[in-house]
Amino acid sequence: MVEKEKMEILEIIGKILFGMLFVGSGISHFKNTSAMAGYARSKGLLFADLNVYLSGILLVVAPILYLFGIWETAMLISLAVFLTLTAFIFHPYWKENDPMTKMNEQIAFNKEVSLIGAILIVLSLL
């Protein structure tokens, strides 16, 4: 197999694995809209139900379009913006006093930040 073909296969596998996290989360937004909207309201988010629904659409559509090479830059930027907002609005671990809650929020925050980093790397390669 030619090196270029190997790289293309790795890129497709990488895109699928990367997108699975977002698509799964987006589907969860639709399955658990009420609970997620309640959590969003507890964090002070306005129009929580609408935002859960819209973020679910973004989380399903953006990685699929990215996978198929449609509006790659726009889709990656939209995911990075979403992750940035999510990290700071929903996972401000520095505000937590309970050690277990703080640890869980820090893990979630770090996951969001690392995904933003991965997106920035991919954007630099486009």
Structure confidence by residue, pLDDT tens digits, 64-123 = 999 999 999 999 999 999 999 999 999 999 999 999 999 999 999 999 999 999 999 999
According to the model, what pLDDT value does residue 3 have? Answer: 85
Tokens standing for residue 101: 């809650």
Helix (H) or strand (E) holding 68: none
According to the model, what pLDDT value does residue 1 have? Answer: 59
Across the range 34-43, mean pLDDT stands at: 94
Rg (CA), the chain: 16
Residue percentage of the chain with pLDDT more than 70? 99
Alpha-carbon span 24 to 9, nearest angstrom: 22
According to the model, what pLDDT value does residue 5 have? Answer: 87
Backbone angles phi, psi at 11, to 5 degrees: -65, -45
